[in-house]
Homo-oligomer: A and B are copies of this chain.
Amino acid sequence: MPSPRATPRQKSLTSPHGLNPALQRMDYAVRGELVLRAEALAKRLPGDYPFSRIVYCNIGNPQSVGQKPLTFVRQVVAGLTHPELLKGDLPDDVVHRVEMFLGRSHGIGAYTESKGLPLVRERVAKALRKRDGVSADPDTIFLTNGASEGVKVLLQMIIRGPDDGVMIPIPQYPLYSATLTALQGRIVEYYLNESQGWRLDVNELSNRLRSAREQGVTVRALCVINPGNPTGQVLTRENLVEIVEFCEREGLVILADEVYQKNVYVDEKPFVSFKKVVTELGSSVELASFHSVSKGLFGECGMRGGFLEVVNMEQDALDMIYKTLSVSLCSNIVGQVAIDVMMTPPQPGEESYDLFVKETSDIYESLKRKAGKLSQALNTFKGVSCNPSEGAMYLFPRVDIPQKAVEEAARRGYASADVLYCIELLEATGICTVPGSGFGQAEGTYHFRTTFLPPEDQIDGVVTRMRDFHDKFLVKYS
């Protein structure tokens, strides 16, 4: 036998042949090349750059850019983590909430049921009844590590083999395309209509479905992101009814990404859940809805709390969701507790109510102002048009990129000219965004996604630096 030291072997886990090919094909732009470049650049700062730090506008991560956590949720989690603290001067309703958890769980240190604590699922069901005015059943609610885990579990259940496909919007949040690629399922794109405020048109769904079926795809589900990510549109009730009827007719499961339901900035388009519409129509369409503590006004991304609610599914499907989640034992308990607090925040008359209302209103009003300010400014850039953000945390402006820049991007081997745009924006200003090509876009159009999360007093600076860069970019490639 040769000594191991003498004959180092060829490595096994190497591309192109040694690694799962589906994972090699998978892209995830939100944490992709731009972010890696930004992180590398951050290590070299301050250096020969006209900025002193990176402004991360690539991801909806509010607390990383200065949003303060809500006091109530932090007090509850701290109290439950170390119940000694209840002897201190925490508000009564915090103490009450912590004691409720201590009475019906083993605290944050024990695995819970794989679906999550019954206490939390019961209270989420109650909160959903209040939100929608229709029934909700704790046994159809599953607590997850963020919304992403729930989406993955559902897609894994749905994709049975390489002919199964799922309809996803273009532009889309790349969790969907990445997960479907990893599962080796088929991606069936449908396009949102940019010139009509990123409208979701049921005729478009119908055409794309027919075309996919003609190509041999067994289309099983439709993903809808409402409010939209990266596009920010909010769907009307009428639109939801059309979509539900379409899915009912065509036998599609609805996967409703509703994590931005509290981030709606237009009074005339209140958020309406798919659950409410499905139930009120008496539809039998199978639905899964996803929610999270990472967005809304909590912005508790690091807690990784999420849940999914399923409607009209058979016990078989519920059992499979349970079994799949059980292999990871359960989601983290702090996230479960945060879901409880988000769905049942302090009520009028309780000690924390006034502070909670003030903190959430301040965040909401600020988001609304920033969304308006940034989109209005972008629309004054030459060759840029940007739909307003009716909801969520993003703007997705369209940029007319000069032909010379398109050629330069091709020369450098970039997937799209907007990659060049975003890289040069980063290197000139420190502002990190995500190229539109990471979300998908109509052929020949270019976009980028930016959050409007930086503090209000920085938004003017962001606008100035973006405009300055943009003008120079046009000159450079004219």
A residues touching B (Cβ–Cβ < 8 Å)? 1, 4-5, 8-15, 18-21, 23-24, 26, 28, 30-32, 39, 59, 61-64, 69, 71, 74-75, 77-79, 81-82, 85, 88, 106-114, 145-146, 148-149, 152, 156-161, 175, 178-179, 182, 220, 244-245, 248-249, 251-253, 281-286, 294, 299-304, 312-314, 316-317, 320, 323-324, 326-335
Complex: how many Å from CA A159 to CA B184?
13
Of all chain B residues, the one with the shortest Cβ separation from A13 is B317
A61 to chain B, nearest CB (A): 5
Asked if B74 and A244 make an inter-chain contact with CB atoms under 8 angstroms apart, the answer reads no
Known pairs A19-B316, A20-B158, A146-B328. 13 more at Cβ < 8 A? A12-B251, A12-B286, A15-B316, A20-B157, A23-B156, A59-B329, A75-B82, A78-B81, A85-B88, A109-B301, A112-B302, A304-B332, A304-B333
A255 to chain B, nearest CB (A): 11
A306 to chain B, nearest CB (A): 11
Asked if A248 and B64 make an inter-chain contact with CB atoms under 8 angstroms apart, the answer reads no
Asked if A146 and B63 make an inter-chain contact with CB atoms under 8 angstroms apart, the answer reads no
Given the complex, which residues of B lie within 8 Å of A88, measured CB to CB? 85, 88
Asked if A113 and B327 make an inter-chain contact with CB atoms under 8 angstroms apart, the answer reads no
A157's partner among B13, B152, B178 (CB-CB below 8 A) is B13
A303's partner among B39, B114, B334 (CB-CB below 8 A) is B334
A82's partner among B77, B110, B249 (CB-CB below 8 A) is B77
Asked if A220 and B12 make an inter-chain contact with CB atoms under 8 angstroms apart, the answer reads yes
A145's partner among B10, B157, B326, B332 (CB-CB below 8 A) is B332
Asked if A109 and B299 make an inter-chain contact with CB atoms under 8 angstroms apart, the answer reads yes
Asked if B156 and A20 make an inter-chain contact with CB atoms under 8 angstroms apart, the answer reads yes
Query: Known contacts A249-B1, A301-B109, A332-B304; is A317 also within 8 Å of B19 by CB?
Result: yes
Of all chain B residues, the one with the shortest Cβ separation from A328 is B148
Asked if A302 and B333 make an inter-chain contact with CB atoms under 8 angstroms apart, the answer reads yes
A323's partner among B13, B23, B149, B301 (CB-CB below 8 A) is B23
Complex: how many Å from CA A160 to CA B15?
11
A416 to chain B, nearest CB (A): 19
Given the complex, which residues of B lie within 8 Å of A21, measured CB to CB? 160-161
A-B contact pairs, 11 of them (CB 8 A): A4-B248, A9-B251, A11-B284, A23-B320, A61-B110, A81-B81, A108-B300, A109-B303, A111-B302, A302-B330, A302-B333
Complex: how many Å from CA A427 to CA B39?
57
Complex: how many Å from CA A30 to CA B63?
37
The 6 closest A-B pairs by CB, nearest first: A31-B326, A302-B333, A78-B82, A304-B332, A13-B317, A63-B109
Asked if B178 and A329 make an inter-chain contact with CB atoms under 8 angstroms apart, the answer reads no
Asked if B313 and A11 make an inter-chain contact with CB atoms under 8 angstroms apart, the answer reads yes
Of all chain B residues, the one with the shortest Cβ separation from A31 is B326
Given the complex, which residues of B lie within 8 Å of A111, measured CB to CB? 59, 61, 64, 294, 301-302
A116 to chain B, nearest CB (A): 11
Given the complex, which residues of B lie within 8 Å of A175, measured CB to CB? 327
A5's partner among B18, B146, B283 (CB-CB below 8 A) is B283
Asked if A284 and B8 make an inter-chain contact with CB atoms under 8 angstroms apart, the answer reads yes
A2 to chain B, nearest CB (A): 8
Asked if B9 and A248 make an inter-chain contact with CB atoms under 8 angstroms apart, the answer reads yes
Asked if A113 and B39 make an inter-chain contact with CB atoms under 8 angstroms apart, the answer reads yes
Complex: how many Å from CA A18 to CA B24?
28
Complex: how many Å from CA A14 to CA B312?
11
Asked if B313 and A253 make an inter-chain contact with CB atoms under 8 angstroms apart, the answer reads no
Of all chain B residues, the one with the shortest Cβ separation from A316 is B15
Asked if A148 and B5 make an inter-chain contact with CB atoms under 8 angstroms apart, the answer reads no
A45 to chain B, nearest CB (A): 15
Asked if B106 and A64 make an inter-chain contact with CB atoms under 8 angstroms apart, the answer reads yes
A78 to chain B, nearest CB (A): 4
Query: Known contacts A19-B317, A88-B88, A329-B301; is A64 also within 8 Å of B110 by CB?
Result: yes
Given the complex, which residues of B lie within 8 Å of A61, measured CB to CB? 110-111
Complex: how many Å from CA A425 to CA B227?
52
Asked if B74 and A13 make an inter-chain contact with CB atoms under 8 angstroms apart, the answer reads no
Complex: how many Å from CA A4 to CA B10?
60
